[in-house]
Amino acid sequence: MGLNLTKELDSGFTVENAYARIDVINGNKNVMYFTLNTYVSRTAFLNGKSYLSQEYFAFTPSVLPGSENFIRQAYFYLKTTDQFKDAIDVIETP
């Protein structure tokens, strides 16, 4: 999974149709930390291009029976924030 979004960079540039994906996630039942890398596009990511920005987040995961896996929970968490509320899910196929 990933996200398609409009990303304003610290430099002031705005990238339409940027691709963001969680690249690192770790933690425990009390807190999960993850790194979100944003690329010019999904194609750029797939072609091994470097990311435009890297951000760090944390959330409290659900460990209840039937809960989504931690990675999906991280994406769901992002979509609750103002910064990512309009992002579109990108379902990755193998």
Q: Are 41 and 34 in contact (CB under 8 A)?
A: no
Q: Is residue 93 part of a domain?
A: no
Q: Is residue 11 part of a domain?
A: yes
What is the C-alpha separation between 49 and 30, in angstroms, rounded?
Answer: 34
Q: Is residue 35 part of a domain?
A: yes
Q: Is residue 47 part of a domain?
A: yes
Whether the per-residue pLDDT at 92 is higher than 80: the answer is no
**Predicted TM-score of the model (pTM):** 0.90
What is the C-alpha separation between 44 and 60, in angstroms, rounded?
Answer: 31
What is the C-alpha separation between 5 and 17, in angstroms, rounded?
Answer: 5
Q: Is residue 40 part of a domain?
A: yes
Q: Is residue 61 part of a domain?
A: yes
Q: Is residue 63 part of a domain?
A: yes
Q: Containing domain of residue 75, as a range?
A: 2-87
7-65 pLDDT, tens digit per residue, is 998 888 999 999 999 999 999 999 999 999 999 999 999 999 999 999 999 999 999 99
**Count: domains in the chain:** 1
Q: Is residue 32 part of a domain?
A: yes
